């Protein structure tokens, strides 16, 4: 999405030992985000606008991980929240902010704008590690699969609605699979079957 793409480029543009390929949905990021991603002049930055939406870009990335034969001996690494290292780093944000607010002597609550569920999942993992959290409030936009699933048990795809928050215009929350894995007591086969029916 527009948020992650420009941050990833900035973090990698000066690295001599990697190339970074950013996929973003054509005309589905803000003009500021598009410029942040497409005006960086660095030999190792490749920005690709795709026809489709964020979910289509995410599906391409996941397909690339499933079949890496095109890499000819190099390695593919994700810098978005598909990468578990990103989740681990975000856990620290929750612990640091909770301690600043009085934890562990008091419970805290977090309200997180979320579409792909990575950030709030990091908070959930901090909670599982012992952080005293009273509740997580997930803020969504019209693309509300997270709200529908948690409030009404409606885990279904609906048509993408373009909003003023393009980074949240996501129909398939990739990191929600991780919460499902926990909810299904780490039964990978059951989660795979559920996600297959979802698709």
Q: pLDDT tens, 118-145? A: 999 999 999 999 999 999 999 999 999 9
**Residue-level pLDDT at 98:** 98
pLDDT in tens, 42-72: 999 999 999 998 889 988 998 999 999 988 8
Residues of the chain with pLDDT under 50: none
Please report the sign of the dihedral spanned by the C-alpha atoms of residue 182, residue 187, residue 192, residue 197: negative
- Report domain extents, the chain: 2-71, 84-198
pLDDT for residue 80: 82
Task: Tell the residue number behind the tokens 């926990």, with chain if given.
Answer: 182
Count CB neighbours of 31 within 10 A: 9
Q: Which of 172, 72, 69 is nearest to 118 (CA)?
A: 172
Q: What is the pLDDT of residue 166?
A: 81
Answer for the pair 21, 8: CB distance below 8 angstroms, yes or no.
Answer: no
Could you please report the per-residue DSSP string of 127-142? HHTT--EEEEEEE--S
CATH of domain 84-198: 3.40.50.1100
- Taking the model in full, what pTM does it have? 0.86
Give the separation between CA 116 and CA 175, rounded to whole angstroms. Answer: 6
The answer to whether the CB of 84 falls within 8 A of the CB of 97 is no
- Mean pLDDT, all residues of the chain: 92
């Amino acid at each position: 999405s527009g948020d992650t793409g420009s941050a990833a480029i900035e973090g990698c543009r000066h690295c001599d030992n990697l190339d970074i390929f950013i996929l973003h949905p054509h005309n589905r990021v803000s003009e500021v985000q598009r410029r942040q991603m497409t005006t960086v002049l660095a030999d190792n930055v490749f920005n690709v606008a795709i026809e489709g939406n964020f979910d289509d870009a995410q599906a391409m990335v996941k397909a690339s991980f499933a079949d890496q034969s095109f890499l000819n001996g190099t390695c593919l690494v994700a810098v978005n929240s598909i990468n578990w290292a990103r989740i681990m780093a975000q856990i620290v944000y929750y612990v640091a902010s909770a301690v600043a607010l009085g934890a562990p002597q008091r419970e805290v609550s977090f309200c997180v704008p979320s579409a792909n569920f990575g950030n709030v999942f990091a908070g959930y993992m901090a909670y599982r590690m012992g952080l005293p959290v009273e509740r997580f409030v997930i803020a969504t936009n019209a693309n509300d699969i997270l709200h529908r699933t948690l409030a009404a048990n409606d885990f279904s795809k609906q048509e993408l609605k373009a909003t003023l928050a393009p980074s949240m215009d996501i129909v398939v929350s990739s990191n929600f699979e991780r919460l499902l894995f926990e909810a299904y007591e780490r039964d990978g086969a059951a989660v795979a079957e559920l996600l297959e029916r979802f698709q």
